[in-house]
Structure 1
Amino acid sequence: MRSLVARMLSRLAIEPRIDVVFPDGTLQTVGHGNAPRLRMRIVDTPTELKLALNPELALGEAVMDGRVVVEQGSLYDLLDALVAAVHKARPQGWGRTLESLRTAVRRFHQHNTPALAKRNVAHHYDLKSDFFKLFLDPDMQYSCAYFATPGLTLAEAQLAKKRHIMGKLDLQPGQRVLDIGCGWGGMALSIAGDTGASVTGITLSEEQLAIAQERGKASGLPVEFRLQDYRYLTESFDRIVSVGMFEHVGVGYYRDYFRKVRELMTDDGVALIHTIGRSSPPGATNPFIAKYIFPGGYIPAMSEMAAAIEKEGLVVTDVEVLRIHYAETLKHWRENFLQRRKEAVAMYDERFARMWEFYLAASEASFRHDDLVVFQFQLAKKLDGLPITRSYIEQREKEFGQKPAAAAKVAAPEPA
């Protein structure tokens, strides 16, 4: 298998050089460039076979199990070099066949009944909230931040993200707002505190709901948080916001989702859908992410979203593509996680910590080098539901920026 792994790596334009140590102790150097070399060790022969046959899944699993070890440089350095090289090369041979098969069956893997949706959400979002507090900002924003100006801290960029979205929604006092996938409640609390609107936040995570309700009660703001699937809502809202939830809808449910959004909006209503997206044609979910991080998840192509929106009679009033912002967000999360990694091990175990380090590092590299971006779709029922130029967005953001941040902080985690 060494010849297959070596051949696979040698076909990539890897920079910097990587010294690969095989189980029998032989060493092969791949790549080029003058930057400091990296060194990785493949511990055993079965791991070589898995890496040759299904590298996208096998590399993450091998890191988790300690069967691929980075001996020089960091795990992020290794993944950054590999992701950049693979993106330039694009799949060939068996890799292309695997990708085609995954794309062909993606609808089957994203069957998303309400019961399955709750189970998939629980797999990730019902992890201990104290774990997420190790690396998120104090407001617990678990989605792409907005680095509007250079040098922003993570907390500042997350606040900028919220205000950017609030500006696009052109929120007014007294409006009713729905937050689909409200997480720990930060967006809803900011909207209610900064605009005077009343907000209903829904989530399928019991862990997140408990904290959101606690924060809402403590704030005294007009917010309500529920454990509810969006498909069962029957009320009417002036504004709808959904941040980082659409990735969990499932390809076969896009039209259902946008049909429901339309049904829930008032005639002059506006929705803002913020989701990870791909700048390439439709594809498949990375197998490591699907198995260990976000079961049932899928990153949409713009063409997939636009087609569903059009067919459900909504007007696309604005689209923005955020590039690199998520890479910078993930860099902050990864660095925060590494600083408190021992606490993550104490909460779970070493294998779990390796899994999360791999996930954060690989995701950062993918948003930096691959085809991953973030879409913000602004939708309305009517052409004249919003001002006809974009200047109001910046104006409203400035208005919100003149007010103190409204959202309450989440308590720091207890020492492990």
Structure 2
Amino acid sequence: MFPLSHMMKSFIRKGRLTVIDADGKRHVFAGTPGLEVTMRLTDKRLYRTLVFNPELAAGEAYMDGTMRFEDGSTLRDFLRLFSINRLSLGSYPLQKALRAIKMRFRKRQQSNVKGEAQKNVAHHYDLGNDFYRLFLDENMLYSCAYFRDSGETLEEAQRNKLRLLASKLCLADGMRVLDIGCGWGDLALYLAKLENVHVTGVTLSKEQQKLASERARQAGLSDRVTFELRDYRDVDDRFDRIVSVGMFEHVGVQHYDEFFGHLNDLMPDHGIAVLHSIGHMSPPGMASPWLRKYIFPGAYSPALSEVFDSVERNSLWVMDLEFLRVHYATTLAHWAERFEKNRERVIAMYDERFARMWEFYLISAEMMFRTGSQLVFHMQMSRKRDAAPIVRDYITDKQREYLEREKALNLTL
């Protein structure tokens, strides 16, 4: 077990981790009282790989079944314990040294040049619409929901999120709206149902573009809502409003100036852009190596300092900034619960290893938002400081107005 035992002694500062090694021997690592987890390792190679690349090795071990949990412990318990103690892991001398080396190459890890961006998106979003229907809400929104009340359903919370975003766009009759990274189209359709606006959604996912276009046709909105299979960098029209939800995480730090510069070019002086993105409250870093390899190639959730740095260079006013902190943890918990209920169907579509991979993804992501450093932010931007009202009450007032309009139009969830 050495050198794994040595690292574990420094790692577990809160709670208790019992590791049963490949020979059946128990090793106990304990800090202050807290969560207790029992884990069995059946492959001796893990004694080394878990030391040199713990996040990647742990995820792969769970996928392969060489890391299991016993005595009533679960994967969720382990990932929660891991997250609670993550800072002590980062301070372990070997991990600090390896991180310093990896930071030198992080730009290569976030490459999203044209063509490569298409492949990165296809890796995740083109798994098939039937797969995503197994755990997303009925309208297939694949981003952080907004829970105004803890008892709300996932569908209600996702509608809250659309209403919140719409209120920050300050829409008016006849406006042209661009939705960058439009997903399966629900935000674009929602905006067009509430307001007389024309919305263009762009995505790099063939599966999303196909379904979104069909949804627009079924809703009778094809004349005002279109979805294109297109890189946002190839868009050269002008738009009064721009919104982007859950796409910025796929841009990459070295492309931030390109992103915000293009937003600036696409808007008139009093245009408004609203960005919904994952970020983190810690200094600049790197994406999880496991997440980057298996789930989101090229992805990275930025530190806020990295975002503001680029916004400033591109002469954009930040008119409003809002943080959704535990909302994504709650969203992911809903997804994980729905996924688990449909686990056998996932295995039938793919296999057991794939199901384990997605279990690890959904639960580990939840822990990033529940006990880690991840958050979601809304950033409202314009070329002009007064493009939106200077008193923030309008955001709340507009949400109330839209809620009444939804009822009047009988917009079901």
Relative to the length of structure 2, the TM-score reads 0.95
Deviation sequence 1:359-391 (CA, Å, 0-9, x none): 111111111111111111100111111100110
Give the superposition deviation at 1:102: 2.2
**Aligned counterpart, 1:199:** 199
**Aligned counterpart, 2:59:** 60
Distance of aligned partners of 1:240 and 1:199 in 2 relative to their CA distance in 1, 3 Å threshold: same
CA contact (8 A) 1:190 1:407 kept: no
Give the superposition deviation at 1:267: 1.9
Runs (5+) with no aligned partner, structure 2: none
Secondary structure at the residue paired with 1:267?
coil
**Aligned counterpart, 2:356:** 354
**Aligned counterpart, 1:413:** none
Deviation sequence 1:219-247 (CA, Å, 0-9, x none): 11221000001111111111100000001
Give the superposition deviation at 1:263: 0.7
Query: Which structure 2 residues correspond to residues 283-294 of structure 1 after superposition, within 5 A?
Result: 283-294=285-296
Percent of matched pairs sharing the same residue = 44
Secondary structure at the residue paired with 1:11?
helix
Cα distance in 2 between the residues matched to 1:244 and 1:395: 25
How many residues are treated as equivalent by the alignment? Answer: 409
Query: Which structure 2 residues correspond to residues 4-43 of structure 1 after superposition, within 5 A?
Result: 4-32=3-31, 37-43=36-42
Deviation sequence 1:178-225 (CA, Å, 0-9, x none): 000000001101111112211100000001111000001111122100
Give the superposition deviation at 1:313: 1.2
The answer to which structure, 1 or 2, has the higher relative contact order (CA under 8 A, 6+ apart) is 1
Secondary structure at the residue paired with 1:377?
strand
Q: Does 1:112 align with 2:134?
A: no
**Aligned counterpart, 1:414:** none
**Aligned counterpart, 2:341:** 339
Match of 1:234 among 200, 222, 236: 236
Cα distance in 1 between the residues matched to 2:334 and 2:11: 28
CA contact (8 A) 1:87 1:369 kept: no
Letter in 2 for 1:179: D
Secondary structure at the residue paired with 2:279?
strand
Q: Does 1:79 align with 2:74?
A: no
Distance of aligned partners of 1:408 and 1:351 in 2 relative to their CA distance in 1, 3 Å threshold: farther
Cα distance in 1 between the residues matched to 2:13 and 2:151: 30
CA contact (8 A) 2:35 2:77 kept: no
Secondary structure at the residue paired with 2:158?
helix
Match of 1:300 among 290, 299, 302: 302
Cα distance in 1 between the residues matched to 2:11 and 2:351: 34
Letter in 2 for 1:117: A
Cα distance in 2 between the residues matched to 1:30 and 1:194: 56
Secondary structure at the residue paired with 2:300?
coil
Deviation sequence 1:140-176 (CA, Å, 0-9, x none): 1100111122321111111111111111111223211
**Aligned counterpart, 1:272:** 274
Give me the CA root mean square deviation.
1.7
Q: Does 1:187 align with 2:187?
A: yes
Secondary structure at the residue paired with 2:11?
coil
Distance of aligned partners of 1:44 and 1:200 in 2 relative to their CA distance in 1, 3 Å threshold: same
CA contact (8 A) 2:89 2:95 kept: no
Give the superposition deviation at 1:8: 1.7
Cα distance in 1 between the residues matched to 2:253 and 2:326: 25
Relative to the length of structure 1, the TM-score reads 0.95
Give the superposition deviation at 1:409: 8.6
Cα distance in 1 between the residues matched to 2:187 and 2:87: 34
Secondary structure at the residue paired with 2:50?
helix
Cα distance in 2 between the residues matched to 1:338 and 1:88: 31
CA contact (8 A) 2:11 2:92 kept: no
Secondary structure at the residue paired with 2:62?
helix
Give the superposition deviation at 1:116: 0.3
CA contact (8 A) 1:139 1:409 kept: no
Cα distance in 2 between the residues matched to 1:386 and 1:113: 33
**Aligned counterpart, 2:47:** 48
Distance of aligned partners of 1:393 and 1:349 in 2 relative to their CA distance in 1, 3 Å threshold: same
Query: Which structure 2 residues correspond to residues 308-319 of structure 1 after superposition, within 5 A?
Result: 308-319=310-321
Letter in 2 for 1:130: D
Moved more, 285-294 or 48-57: 48-57
Give the superposition deviation at 1:402: 1.2
Match of 2:332 among 330, 333, 341: 330
CA contact (8 A) 1:21 1:40 kept: yes
**Aligned counterpart, 2:2:** 3
Deviation sequence 1:104-127 (CA, Å, 0-9, x none): 211122222110000000000011
